[in-house]
Amino acid sequence: MRLRFKNYVLSSLILATVLGQTACKKTDLSKENVIPKPVSVVPTGENFDLTDQTDIYVQQGSAELLQIGQYLADKLNPATGLGLDVKTTADTPASGNIYLALSDKDTQLGDEGYELTITDKSVNLIATKPAGLFHGIQTIRQLLPAKVENHMPQKGPWKIATGTIRDYPTYSYRGAMLDVARHFFSVDDVKNLIDQMAYYKLNMFHLHLSDDQGWRIEIKSWPNLTARGGSTEVGGGEGGFYTQKQYADIVKYAQDRYITIVPEIDMPGHINAALASYPELNCDGKAPELYTGIEVGFSSLCTGKEVTYKFIDDVIRELAALTPGPYLHIGGDESHATKIEDYIPFINRVQDMVIAHGKKVLGWDEIALSTLKPNTIAQYWAKAENATKAVAQGAKVLMSPAKNAYLDMQYDSTSTYGLHWAGYVEVDKGYNWDPATLEPEIKKENIVGIEAPLWSETVSSRPEAEYLIFPRLLGYAEIGWTPAELRNWDNYKIRLANHGERMKAMDINFYPSRLVPWNTNNAK
Ligand code: TNX
């Protein structure tokens, strides 16, 4: 009897200790797997519990804040099943809730920064602008267990480590590009990628809307561009295009996620789809065949014909009217079929046309051979000497060096998809570089940011595109956001490993690089 009693006391003691330990388990907010890595994290060692009593409160009086709160609720409710509601309040809400509010006191946060204060009683997010709150809710999502990203209900508990995160981006332009010209991608595919970009705090999305193989945006004054020019793609598939209504829908979808669309019409080269649609755009007045191969540099607008400029003006006018963002991208790359003495005045004239329609110009680095207008940005992809010319003219540079940042470069020689003309870009190589020190002549103050382009010659479906985009895009997001001195591959690869579970839960078909210690067994 005595022995039994002693055993009982002993086992209860052990149980109490174990339980106690789980309940007050020390947390460390600074070791959470947030990508991009936040600027500053001060941990306080406790937990906030998300329960069925928790709601999301937003400062009253702003439809925009309500929408951000709802975005968070929509992301957390499916997996947690907690039925978080979004409510407005004039004061700080009662304990147990999440609160999103604007405050103009903290100017260091800038237009996109946020401060997130988590205690055992509340989650408080403040920012000077809605964009900061939107980025902050991505951090909240990433502080919850990876399974929170599942579409189906999962078992809790849903704890968030406590402490304070202050966070803001290094570069104002953090982007990705999708080539919808070589292979067409549906509106749904594009929206899906926009949500994935938002999770990593990217804010610019460049759509490569025309090339030799296809014209993908409806232009009402030149309907054959899509009727004929949009009718095929690499490999001879059926192609496709966005109506203006669909494009406007994409723009709005991106805007609701604080992402700006940058539309590109590539010229004077990469233009066969347009030349095949309108004979008058050709110097000899004859339309070439549609093109479904993957060669580059063989087509050119007829720079000496006035109709060419009427055509461009119409396209730019319609596109500018549909695009609230500040930039129109005019391409300008690989114009091997245009003489340099024609190329330079052409680019000069087209810049003026874009400006006349109220937009700023972006173009591939070759445009620096012309005279860049104030505010024109050169996108460095191949030739450092071109980017250097842009800098010498006082222009800013957008960093997309193919050898580091091209999402269509193969990971290694065994990769199924992708090209390798700029080399192989394994996940570590994609991460381990700094835009501000890559080329000696391009300094941090010359750089607007970073963009990772996916060219689609070798990929024609969402899973194929995702295989090249992920996980490298996460690294580019971190390069754009996190100060260089806080970036480190050994630390990053551990956080990335955790995001394997998240990507799996989001059904992203990522490349499982051997360099990353993935832990994806319990994501689904
Ligand atoms: C070069 S990058 C191109 C594209 C190709 C890409 C393939 C650039 C401005 N031009 O037309 O799709 O290489 O990697």
Nearest CA to ligand 1 atom 11: 296
Q: Whose CA is nearest to atom 8 of ligand 1?
A: 333
- Determine the atom of ligand 1 nearest the C-alpha atom of 333: 9
* Beta carbon of 266 within 6 Å of any ligand 1 atom: no
Q: How many CB atoms lie within 10 A of CB 259?
A: 25
Would you tell me how many other CB atoms lie within 10 Å of the CB of residue 483?
12
Please report the DSSP string for 85-135 in residue order: -EEEESSPPPTT-EEEEE-SS-GGGTTT-EEEEE-SS-EEEEESSHHHHHH
Would you give the end-to-end CA distance of the chain in angstroms? 48
Q: Classify burial at 135, counting beta carbons within 10 Å of its beta carbon; exposed 0-12, middle 13-18, buried 19 or more.
A: buried
| pLDDT, position 25 | 73
CB of 381 closer than 6 angstroms to any ligand 1 atom: yes
Distance CA 67, CA 449 (A): 28
Q: Which atom of ligand 1 is nearest to the CA of 421?
A: 14
Nearest CA to ligand 1 atom 12: 455
Active-site option among 334, 385, 441, 464 = 334
Radius of gyration of the chain (CA): 25
**Contact between 42 and 115 (Cβ < 8 Å):** no
Amino acid 521: pLDDT: 56
**Does residue 333's CB lie within 6 angstroms of at least one atom of ligand 1?**
yes
Q: How far, in Å, is the centroid of ligand 1 from the Cα of 45?
A: 48
d(CA 410, CA 416) in angstroms, rounded, equals 8
Mutate to test the pocket of ligand 1, among 180, 208, 213, 296 (most ligand atoms within 8 A of CB): 296
Structure tokens at 395: 């222009």
Determine if ligand 1 sits within 6 Å of the CB of residue 280. Answer: no
Q: Is the CB of 408 under 6 A from ligand 1?
A: yes
Q: Whose CA is closest to atom 7 on ligand 1?
A: 455
Ligand 1 centre to CA of 506 (Å) is 29
pLDDT digits (tens, 9 = 90+) for 168-224: 999 999 999 999 999 999 999 999 999 999 999 999 999 999 999 999 999 999 999
- Taking the C-alpha atoms of residue 49 and residue 72, their distance in angstroms, rounded to an integer, is 16
Is the model's pTM score more than 0.75? Answer: yes
DSSP-derived secondary structure letter, 259: -
What span, in angstroms and rounded, lies between the C-alpha atoms of 192 and 190? 5
- Which whole-number Å values give the CA distances from 468 to 46, 118, 352, 507, in the listed order? 38, 36, 36, 15
Ligand 1 atom nearest the C-alpha of 422 is 14
At 107-132, the pLDDT tens digits run 899 999 999 999 999 999 999 999 99
Q: State how far the Cα of 426 lies from the Cα of 406, in Å rounded to an integer.
A: 11
pLDDT of residue 519: 81
CA of 382 to the centre of ligand 1 (A): 9
Mutate to test the pocket of ligand 1, among 336, 455, 460 (most ligand atoms within 8 A of CB): 455
**Amino acid, single-letter form, for residue 374:** P
Active site residue 334: yes
Residue 208's DSSP bridge partners are: 179, 264
* DSSP string across 408-451: TB-SSTT-SS-B-TT----HHHHHS--TTTSSTT--GGGEEEEE
pLDDT by residue, tens only, the chain of 524 residues: 454 555 555 555 454 444 444 455 799 999 999 999 999 999 999 999 999 999 999 999 999 999 999 999 999 999 999 999 999 999 999 999 999 999 998 889 999 999 999 999 999 999 999 999 999 999 999 999 999 999 999 999 999 999 999 999 999 999 999 999 999 999 999 999 999 999 999 999 999 999 999 999 999 999 999 999 999 999 999 999 999 999 999 999 999 999 999 999 999 999 999 999 999 999 999 999 999 999 999 999 999 999 999 999 999 999 999 999 999 999 999 999 999 999 999 999 999 999 999 999 999 999 999 999 999 999 999 999 999 999 999 999 999 999 999 999 999 999 999 999 999 999 999 999 999 999 999 999 999 999 999 999 999 999 999 999 999 999 999 999 999 999 999 999 999 999 999 999 999 999 999 999 998 654 43
* CA–CA gap between residue 454 and residue 474 (Å, rounded): 14
Nearest CA to ligand 1 atom 9: 333
Is residue 478 within 6 Å of ligand 1 at its C-beta?
no
